[in-house]
Amino acid sequence: MTISSSKEKTKKQKSNKQGFLQSVLTLMFSQVLIKLLGMIYTLYLTNREGFGDEGNGIVSSSYQIYAMLLTISSIGVPNAISKLVSERVAIGDHKGAYRIFKIAFATFAVIGLIGSLMLFCGAHVIAYNWLQIPEAEMTLVALSPAIFFVAISSVMRGYCNGRQNIKATARSQTLEQIFKTALTIIIVEIVAIISHVSTEWMAAGATLATTIATFAGFGYLYMYYKVIRKEIVKEIKATVNYKYERVKTIIKKVLLVSLPIALTAIMSSLNKNIDSFTVVRSLKQFLPEKEALAQYGILGGKVDMLTSLPLSINVAFSTALVPAIAAAKAKKDRKTITKKTSFSILISMLIGLPCTVGMFIFAGPILHLLFPNASAGTTILQISSLTILFTILDQTINGALQGYGKLMVPAISLGIGVIAKLILNLILVPNPAFGANGAAWASVVCHMIAFIIASTALRKNIKLDLTFSKIVIKPAIATGIMGICSYYIYLSLNGIISQNMATILAMISAIIIYGISIIVLKIFTKEEILEIPGGTKILKFLQKIKIY
């Protein structure tokens, strides 16, 4: 009986581990796909005659206001609902879990509706007085209903996650992005014909696509909810350990859990909004309005999209780190905390460093490749690429801190960085010697400060098993070899074949050279290789060719 019970327990632990890994891989695939789809419609809009950098400036300024209201109304909600629901489900209280879902849904439906009405009614004041971009009024109006749909979708995603079905969340997000990509192209083309290629109305059409896409994402979640409704009813009937809680208490719990996460997101949103409030306004002091708007379009459109791409790869690691650290802390297993955190930070360094260097070296060729009709912005992209490493490391460190229970540190560290960015924006951007480049430098300083504060807090709470050679010197050597070799390949091929083909081949070469360099330098230990999916086969192969 004891042996059978032990086998059953081992089998259950193995199943849970596989389920967790599958969730991480699903999330990673979903996030990468979402970013790639986002790139498609950004490329289309930027290269579309009559849209370009000016259209991106209008959309970016509106989107940052929308993102700020969205942050207040829904960011942090999925994690909060997921935590509270999973706690109830774990003890068999399915009735209590469902009650949390219903109350949260009603609460955030009201909050989301208020956010939508605020944006709809305040669009004129925001566009004319705050942003000083009158063309943004219609884009704000078109975006306003999306806040309501995202708020209620966030609650439904949290409920799905709490029931350990992260696939439903990933699918709804992916479907939403597919709709957004397709509808952006279709609606903008229709609006271009009707309006005789009006940049203002095309920008409004692009944001209308976002609103319709959020409705599609909600529609999928609603249909999924209808499908599992019978299963939920059965679970409620089988409820044990039901503990009644007042509506007020449940709302308070949801808000208390989501607040620290939301604060971090609000700081991030404010970081972007500083640019939308200050860049065009400051540039107009020495540039024509149209050129000032185009400069902001480069910063908030093309550059922001490219520098945020590496984050989509890293986000799965930072997301997985939160529950892993929380579980280890509950068991007082400091060895696992050290191991998981150290490995995740190493992975983040190995992702962030080559992305930073690669984008800095190939800034011009990348812009020419992706935006042949609007390839300006090389210097802004080179400066902004320096934020990638700090942002990726900060993302992972914040995941570890949140898992460890230090929920306010990420918000405070980024908040201090945002203050520094605001000051630097106000000093540098109005200076013709800096202009829009000043905003890019301010972002670098912002994320550097946030990283320094967060990493200091991490070292005080979590012991790391990383030497300077392993975390800095070896990755730097691998990145240096990659950068020098790939740039030499680009220079050798450019002129023999087209610039775009030379860029593509040089970037493919960079990935291969970097991978080989990591292996040859033995950055990973044998134990760490085994942590990677398919690690056993990889290690056997490396041992066979006598590298390990």
Question: For every residue of 427-449, which 3-state class applies, written as one string?
Answer: HHCCCCCCCHHHHHHHHHHHHHH
Helix (H, G, I), strand (E, B) or coil at 494: strand
CB count in 10 Å sphere of residue 240: 9
CB count in 10 Å sphere of residue 113: 16
CA dist., res. 87 & res. 104, Å (int): 16
Phi, psi of 93 (to 5 degrees): -90, 70
Please say whether the dihedral angle defined by the alpha carbons of residues 51, 53, 56 and 62, taken in this order, is positive or negative: negative
Annotate 116-146 with DSSP letters as a single string.
HHHHHHHHHHIIIIIS--GGGHHHHHHHHHH
Query: What Rg value do the Cα atoms of the chain yield, rounded?
Result: 24
Q: Is there a contact between 374 and 432 (Cβ–Cβ < 8 Å)?
A: no
* Residue partners of 175: CB distance under 8 A and separation at least 6: 216, 217, 220
| Owner of token pair 């209201």 | 69
- Can you read off the two tokens belonging to residue 475? 């990755």
Q: How far is CA 193 from the centre of its chain?
A: 34
CA dist., res. 458 & res. 127, Å (int): 41
* Exposed / middle / buried, residue 46 (Cβ in 10 Å: 0-12, 13-18, 19+): buried
341 to 16, 222, 328, 399, 543: CA distances (angstroms): 20, 37, 11, 9, 27
pTM for the full predicted model: 0.73
| Owner of token pair 């967790």 | 20
- Can you read off the two tokens belonging to residue 398? 């914040």
Q: Could you tell me what percentage of the chain is helix, strand and coil, using 3-state DSSP and rounding each to the nearest 5?
A: 85, 0, 15
CB count in 10 Å sphere of residue 109: 14
- Amino acid 322: pLDDT: 65
Q: Is there a contact between 96 and 245 (Cβ–Cβ < 8 Å)?
A: yes
| Owner of token pair 């014909």 | 193
Residues of the chain with pLDDT under 70: 1-25, 71-76, 79, 316-324, 326-327, 330-331, 531-533
Q: Is there a contact between 167 and 90 (Cβ–Cβ < 8 Å)?
A: no
Query: Quick one: angle between helices 363-370 and 499-520, nearest 10?
Result: 130
Residue among 147, 156, 151, 172 at smallest CA distance from 101: 156
Beta bridge partners of 497: 494
CB count in 10 Å sphere of residue 480: 14
